[in-house]
Each structure stands twice: as C-alpha cells, then as structure tokens.
Amino acid sequence: MLPHGDLHCSDCHIRHRAVCSRCDEAELQRLEDVKFYRRYEAGQRIVWAGDELSFVGSVVSGIATMSQSMEDGRVQMVGLLLPSDFIGRPGRSTTPYDIVAASDVTLCCFRRAPFEQLLEDMPHVSGRFLEMTLDELDAAREWMMVLGRKTARERIASLLVSVARREANFSLVPITGDLRLHLPLTREAMSEYLGLTIETVSRQISQLSREGVIALDEKRRIIIPDLIRLEEETGENLVPA
Amino acid sequence: MLPHGDLHCSDCHIRHRAVCSRCDEAELQRLEDVKFYRRYEAGQRIVWAGDELSFVGSVVSGIATMSQSMEDGRVQMVGLLLPSDFIGRPGRSTTPYDIVAASDVTLCCFRRAPFEQLLEDMPHVSGRFLEMTLDELDAAREWMMVLGRKTARERIASLLVSVARREANFSLVPITGDLRLHLPLTREAMSEYLGLTIETVSRQISQLSREGVIALDEKRRIIIPDLIRLEEETGENLVPA
DNA sequence: CGCAATATTGAGGATACTCAATGAAGGTGG
DNA sequence: CCACCTTCATTGAGTATCCTCAATATTGCG
C-alpha cells in the first residue's frame, strides 16, 4: 500500500462523496497541498469532548463513533462516522463530542484555519459542505424518530439497514442475494447508538437471527439474506399495499 | 400594528438572530425587495410532509412544530421552530416533515430560487445560514441524548429549560426570580417532542408542579420559580461539586 | 349552555432495564 | 503451544418505568 502522504486526491475512493466532491482538478491540487493524513487504531480516541480539535477532516476508511455523555455515565451516540463523513466544525476549536475509532481509521485532515479559508475561497467546497451538513441534519432527525418511537427490534433493524444502505451506495454493488455487512461495533457501541442496553441489543439480535432475518457470520460481520425483509422490520413500511 | 408588508427589516425583532443577521443596510435592502410575509393561525398546517414547498423563510413570531410520522401513526417531533428559526432546505423542493403552527405564526419568506441566488451572492447570508444549520445539528444531537437516555421527568425538564433559555436569550431579560414561560404546546405536542405518551407528560408535569419545581399558570403558561432547580432536573448536572 | 377538545388521574400490563451467571473469543506469557 | 486472563456476548430471573385502556375533569368555543 502507498504511504498515505503519496495518495493523490484523484485516486481517493471518497473523492466523489466527501467535502471535496465538487472540486475540479485545479481545486483538488489546492487541497492536496494542505491536506495530511492521520491514522488511528481501533479503540483509540480521536478527540475527547471539550478538547481542542486543531483539525477538521474526512473519514477516508474505517468507522468512528461520535457520542455525548452525561456526568452520571449515561452515553448516547449521536453519529456514526463512515467513509466520506466529516469531522469537526469550522469556526469552533473544540468538539462537544467524544470521537472514537471503532475500527482502524484513516482521516484526511486540514488544519482548521486553512480549511476555513478554503470554505471562503472555494464555493465548490463550501457548497458541498453545506449540503453535507444538511444531510447530517436530516439523518439526525431520522434518528430522533428511531430513539423516540421505535421498539428495540425496530432499532436494531434500522441500524443495520442504514449501514447496509450506505455500504451499498458506496460500492455500487446491486443489492442482490446475501449482503455481507461489516459492522465493527461492539454490543456496547450499538446500545449507545440505539438508546438501549447491551443485553437488549444482544437479545434482539439473537431473536432476529433465530428467525432468519439476519445471520451472524464471524465476529462483527452480519449477513442479510433479504434486505427487503429486514427493512420491513424497521417499522418504516416502504412497501405500499 | 403595521401591516406586515410595511415592516422594515431594520425594525424586525429577529434581525440579529435570523439568517439575515450579518447583513448590512444595503444587503438588507436587497432582502427587503424580495421578502414577503405569511401568516398562519394556531393549528394550521404550514406544509405537509412530501408536499411541494415553494418558499423558505424564517419564523418571525409564534411557534411551529416540525415532525415526522410513521405509517402506523407514530409521530416524532424533530424540531420546535421558534422566532428566527429557518424553514425549508435550499436545493430541495419538498420537505420530509410536517410543519404545523402551534400558535399564530408569522413567517418572513423568500421564494426558493431567489433565496438560492442570495446564498450564492451574499456571503453574509450563506455564512450565517451555514452557522445556523450547524447549530441546528448540535441541537438535534442534544435532543438525541434526551430521547435516547433521559427519563420522562428529565425530558420534561429538558424541554422547559431549552425553551426558557432561548426565551431568556432573546429578550435579554436577566433570569431573576420567577420566569413566566409561554409554551403554546398541547400535551400531545409535548409528548410527540419528548418521545412519550400524553399521559406520561401529564403525570410528570403534575408531579413537578406538586413538588414546586414548576407552577401551572393559565393555560399554556408555566412559571419557573427557580431555573437552577429546574436545570438540575434535566440530568445534566451543570453545577460542579 | 352544552359540546368538543384537552388534560388529569387510576389500574393493570408490556417492554426494556438491572443484576447476575455463564460462555466464547482473543491476546499474553510461561 | 496451551493455560490464563480480560474483554465481549449471551441468557435468565425479577423489576421498574412507561404505555395502554378507561374514566373523569377542565377548558374553550359556538
């Protein structure tokens, strides 16, 4: 594998989804000049809530979690950061969220000040950034529905479907036959995302597995024999009668 | 009161918080040329999920709710729209949310296409719009914590505190003594926001009232004798030991 | 004044939580 | 290379919080 410093933007596999997706070659060159990569191992924290975050950037590969905690230890995940997702908020030097690498993670980073300059100078960057932020907002609101109104079983299904959809979107693999999903989240991480306890997550996954809606492959890998069937379990009945 | 067509931006009381807040006088004039007002009565729907939304705009006065529904009737409110909040998404002609006037509401509107042009031409508008969107995202994530992890009692307290804070922020009234809060939401609307049932909302409000943490004034009006005390009930212990 | 909408309160029940024990997997060192 | 330990996952029993169903107040409005 190439050392990451040598990776060209034009070869980057998040090229067409990330904050840079609208840039032309000349613009990419400008990003290339100031970008740098950071790598984190699974389990490593990327930032701690309240800490200074000197950079912003995109997830290139791997999965990170973003969560909020209460003083008494309750934790709620507020975002699952997949490749092309953006970390950090321009104009603010700290994050209110803990960000942790769930798997090995590579980030494509910019120091904050230069990135803010890019936002000002390059409409292709700022426009895409705004669009991504609006998409994030929609996603957060959809997740409010999950947390506020769905049963444990529906929550599990919603999580799996949302990751499956993004994965399918990304690899452009048509969703036929078995879908083998890599979900590098512990039961604890899932429970934090879903607003449940570890035990409830475990029980519901066992249940879905017993019923054949999903199958458990090796660790952190789930097989979805029939995505439509799983989607029905989310409670969002997309199939009109 | 002036007919709304005559209201000058410079006299507008959301002038310093809304999407126009960074504009200078010349820029305001440009907004003034294309803006128009719309009024809705309490209970009236502003848009229905999936409907065409030909305009975008800011809440000038009143409160609106934004919610998402499932086919089986479950409803989750995903936003409470207070004065200066923005409605609609540039670049998209429909909303996925139902938006309903909870009280009489006045909106300051722009047709979508001209507004998108404004975003391109005026950095003061686009910059502020981005900032507001990022704030919304933070708020949505904070609400995920409420929905995912808080008890019924904490949820009620969180709702009241968040509205109280915004109100205090707006009127710049120092938070001393009794705080008289106007909250034009039915128990049903609150339950939809909080991910609870009407009955649970009612019981928890009765409970808080019995304990003197809040007092019920006339309809849709709540007295907060001690905001600090109420904040303690949100579960977010802001007071370090 | 009376009806419709909204709110309160009670009784019973279901879903998810807590506490606890057991099992499986992965890494470390003898 | 295997025993041991730690971490993670599963499963069970009992419980609590919130939901459902239902009856009764209260409010606002025609």
Of B138, B160, B177, residue with least CA distance to B221: B160
pLDDT digits (tens, 9 = 90+) for A116-175: 999 999 999 999 999 999 999 999 999 999 999 999 999 999 999 999 999 887 776 666
- Asked if strand C contacts A12 at the CB level, meaning under 7 A, the answer is no
Q: In sequence order, what are the residues at sequence separation of 6 or more whose Cβ sits closer than 8 angstroms to the Cβ of residue B86?
A: B18, B19, B56, B57, B58, B59, B129, B132
State the SS3 of B92-130: CCECCCEEEECCCEEEEEEEHHHHHHHHHHCHHHHHHHH
B50 touches chain A (CB under 8 A): no
* B158 in the same domain as B141: no
Segments of chain B with pLDDT less than 70: 1-6, 172-176, 238-241
Per the DSSP assignment, residues forming a β-bridge with B179 are B224
CA angle A63, A78, A134 (to 5 degrees): 90
pLDDT at B175: 61
Nucleotide at minimal C1' distance from the B200 CA: D18
Judged on CB neighbours under 10 Å (0-12, 13-18, 19+), B170 is middle
CA B107 to chain centroid: 12
* A157 in the same domain as A138: no
| Chain mean pLDDT for chain A | 92
Closest partner CB to A141 (pick from B74, B78, B133): B78
Chain B nearest-CA distance from A76, in A, is 5
B175 touches chain A (CB under 8 A): no
Distance CA A131, CA A136 (A): 9
CA of A155 to C1' of C12 (A): 27
Nucleotide at minimal C1' distance from the A200 CA: C16
**Domain CATH for A218:** 1.10.10.10
CB contact under 8 A, B140 and A142: no
DSSP codes, A142-167: HHHHHHHH--HHHHHHHHHHHHHHHH
Given A121, A146, A171, the domain boundary residue is A146
pLDDT at B178: 83
Closest partner CB to A147 (pick from B72, B195, B236): B195
* B55 in the same domain as B102: yes
B235 touches chain A (CB under 8 A): yes
pLDDT at B237: 73
Q: Quick one: average pLDDT of A213-241? A: 86
| Domain span holding position A57 | 4-146
A116 falls within a domain = yes
B188 falls within a domain = yes
B228 falls within a domain = yes
Q: Which two tokens stand for residue B143?
A: 């609400």
Strand order in the sheet with B221-224: B179-182, B221-224, B215-216
Print burial letters for A41-70: b (CB count within 10 Å at least 16), e (below 16).
eeeeebbeeeeebebbbbbbebbbbbbbeb
Q: Which two tokens stand for residue B61?
A: 């006065």
pLDDT at B218: 80
* B76 in the same domain as B52: yes
A172 falls within a domain = yes
pLDDT at B2: 43
| Under 8 Å between Cβ of A106 and A13 | no
* A127 in the same domain as A69: yes
Nucleotide at minimal C1' distance from the A216 CA: D9
CB contact under 8 A, A78 and B194: no
Of the residues B77, B136, B147, the best mutation for testing chain A's interface (the one with the most A CB atoms within 10 Å of its CB) is: B147
B14 falls within a domain = yes
**Domain CATH for A107:** 2.60.120.10
pLDDT at A1: 43
* B100 in the same domain as B52: yes
Name the closest residue on chain B to residue A144, using Cα atoms.
B144
Q: How many CB pairs under 8 A join A and B?
A: 99
pLDDT at A123: 94
Q: Which residue has the higher pLDDT, B21 or A220?
A: B21
* A140 in the same domain as A154: no
pLDDT digits (tens, 9 = 90+) for B49-90: 999 999 999 999 999 999 999 999 999 999 999 999 999 999
CA of A199 to C1' of C21 (A): 13
Given B146, B177, B203, the domain boundary residue is B146
* A155 in the same domain as A200: yes
CA of A89 to C1' of D6 (A): 37
pLDDT at A184: 93
- Asked if strand C contacts A202 at the CB level, meaning under 7 A, the answer is no
pLDDT of A5 higher than 60: no
A237 falls within a domain = no
Chain A nearest-CA distance from B135, in A, is 10
B167 falls within a domain = yes
pLDDT digits (tens, 9 = 90+) for A161-206: 999 999 887 776 666 678 899 999 999 999 999 999 999 999 999 9
194-213 in chain B: CB under 8 A from chain A: 194-195
* A16 in the same domain as A128: yes
* B141 in the same domain as B198: no
* A177 in the same domain as A74: no
Number of domains, chain B: 2
Q: How confident is residue A2, by pLDDT bands cut at 50, 70 and 90?
A: very low
pLDDT digits (tens, 9 = 90+) for A48-83: 999 999 999 999 999 999 999 999 999 999 999 999
Distance CA A175, CA A164 (A): 9
| Under 8 Å between Cβ of B175 and B227 | yes
CB contact under 8 A, A147 and B142: no
Classified as helix, coil or strand, A29 is: helix
Given B130, B146, B162, the domain boundary residue is B146
pLDDT at B176: 65
- Asked if strand C contacts B188 at the CB level, meaning under 7 A, the answer is yes
* B139 in the same domain as B41: yes
B207 falls within a domain = yes
Query: What angle in degrees, to the nearest 10, is found between the helix axes of B123-149 and A123-149?
Result: 20
Q: Which nucleotides of C are covered by protein (CB under 7 A)?
A: 6-11, 15-20, 25-26
pLDDT at B168: 82
pLDDT digits (tens, 9 = 90+) for A74-91: 999 999 999 999 999 999
Of B36, B34, B18, residue with least CA distance to B114: B34
Per the DSSP assignment, residues forming a β-bridge with B65 are B80, B100
